[in-house]
Structure 1
């Protein structure tokens, strides 16, 4: 049968399901597809480096081809950001929001902007947290109660320590840490500032206090004692950790104050019942490495347990901070007090 004049097979028609099964009525003609014209090919000398990038792509057959892609215009976005810096809210807004901040979110809140950070430096902020989560709690020790205390120095530190006694989220953190193995090797390159002993009912406990060293850190004296005593964020125990080693027997420890921990080794003792702890110490802080032999080695046998305590841990041994840190000699602190372990 001869074809009609002008009739062509529409092979590029857009044929969808609405043209057949879902059609409301029979469709006589199909729609022609709309073809978009490809961009005009430009010669290499007509391409501008500022407008196009050359990108290598892999085709379906495995061959590689180099195509050009137009660069994104970042100048408009940058200009829009500069033109609209945002809304600067007054500090009273952040102060009202701070009343709803949970203890575990204080760090995130302080990182929002300068106004939020300044609020976390205020006495009212930390007293509000204490009144909400710690006040009149039976688990709170008497030394951390602030009901009748008006001392501002180190208020942030005392509130955080109180939260680890009364706040459920922090209690779970301490309980989870107790189930994990202690990591005494993390104390390497810290300076030993104090050592003391305690005799229990069955075991001896030896405490090594270490402080993290900062070579570029300098302690500047405050302009006045009154200004220093008004520091809410003062924390004399910052960057300090205590290694508590519980042994079955007593072992003498040589003077280690001022020396740097260079090596830690834990092995099984004879009989495979206890552990043996090797602590290597060197003088100085910058020449500590694995290749240098320790100048002083402390060996503690029959070790029952080892715990690394941070300053916020409920079992961390705190001395009474009555004098600002940079106005006293740290190594002149008393080794033991009369009611220290009660």
Structure 2
């Protein structure tokens, strides 16, 4: 292999490692909502944007003393933001990809690496249908896998970010 190709592959791997640590904060969160939309821009072919809205689990669910289902928290303050402690993972792909329904599932694994064509990224998301109890590790092959390939961009927005989508009715 030529040195130019080797350097390019190292840069590609380094950029992949740089993207994943910020996505770690979304792990262990519940997928509240999922949607996708077609983006028509100045490109000949449209892009597809896949959005996953996550909410952090309440401390009661993370503890070992989970006593069944908990009632929803009622908002007492008029200034409370219903999206507080939420984040949005936005993955833009070059093609439309059918994915399974993951709403209500717990997001447990995010990996990003180089696609097979070596020109794009490949994103793998794993969801479990039960929360993680007491720091126990779940086997990632047991969950529902979502593989998005080829990926154009990956972004993670916290609930307070200006580009975080919000509803005017909330």
TM-score by length of 1: 0.37
Cα distance, 1:311–1:221 mapped onto 2, change above 3 Å:
closer
Larger helix percent: 1
| 1:247 matched residue in structure 2 | 93
Quote the Cα distance in structure 2 between the aligned partners of 1:275 and 1:289. Answer: 30
Alignment pair present for 1:215 and 2:59: yes
| 2:139 matched residue in structure 1 | 292
Counterpart secondary structure, 1:184: helix
Quote the Cα distance in structure 2 between the aligned partners of 1:289 and 1:303. Answer: 31
| 1:301 matched residue in structure 2 | 149
Q: CA deviation at 1:210?
A: 0.4
* Deviations 1:81-133, CA, capped at 9 Å, x for gaps: xxxxxxxxxxxxxxxxxxxxxxxxxxxxxxxxxxxxxxxxxxxxxxxxxxxxx
Quote the Cα distance in structure 2 between the aligned partners of 1:285 and 1:197. Answer: 25
Q: CA deviation at 1:181?
A: 4.1
| 2:36 matched residue in structure 1 | 197
Matches within 5 A, 1:1-342: 181=19, 183-201=22-40, 202-216=46-60, 219-221=72-74, 228=76, 231-287=77-133, 289-293=136-140, 294-322=142-170
* Deviations 1:257-316, CA, capped at 9 Å, x for gaps: 110011111110012111000101101112475442332000000101100011122221
Cα distance, 1:234–1:251 mapped onto 2, change above 3 Å:
same
Quote the Cα distance in structure 2 between the aligned partners of 1:295 and 1:282. Answer: 5
| 1:19 matched residue in structure 2 | none
Quote the Cα distance in structure 2 between the aligned partners of 1:310 and 1:220. Answer: 21
Cα distance, 1:300–1:289 mapped onto 2, change above 3 Å:
farther
Structure showing greater Rg: 1
* Deviations 1:9-42, CA, capped at 9 Å, x for gaps: xxxxxxxxxxxxxxxxxxxxxxxxxxxxxxxxxx
CA contact (8 A) 1:262 1:290 kept: no
Q: CA deviation at 1:317?
A: 1.2
* Deviations 1:131-153, CA, capped at 9 Å, x for gaps: xxxxxxxxxxxxxxxxxxxxxxx
Larger strand percent: 2
Quote the Cα distance in structure 2 between the aligned partners of 1:181 and 1:308. Answer: 10
CA contact (8 A) 1:236 1:321 kept: no
CA contact (8 A) 2:55 2:85 kept: yes
Cα distance, 1:284–1:306 mapped onto 2, change above 3 Å:
same
Q: CA deviation at 1:232?
A: 4.2
Structure 2 residues not aligned, in runs of 5+: 1-17, 41-45, 62-69
CA contact (8 A) 2:28 2:107 kept: yes
Cα distance, 1:250–1:313 mapped onto 2, change above 3 Å:
same
TM-score by length of 2: 0.71
Q: Which runs of 4+ in 1 moved over 3 A?
A: 217-222, 287-291
| 1:28 matched residue in structure 2 | none
Cα distance, 1:232–1:297 mapped onto 2, change above 3 Å:
same
Structure 1 residues not aligned, in runs of 5+: 1-179, 223-227, 323-342
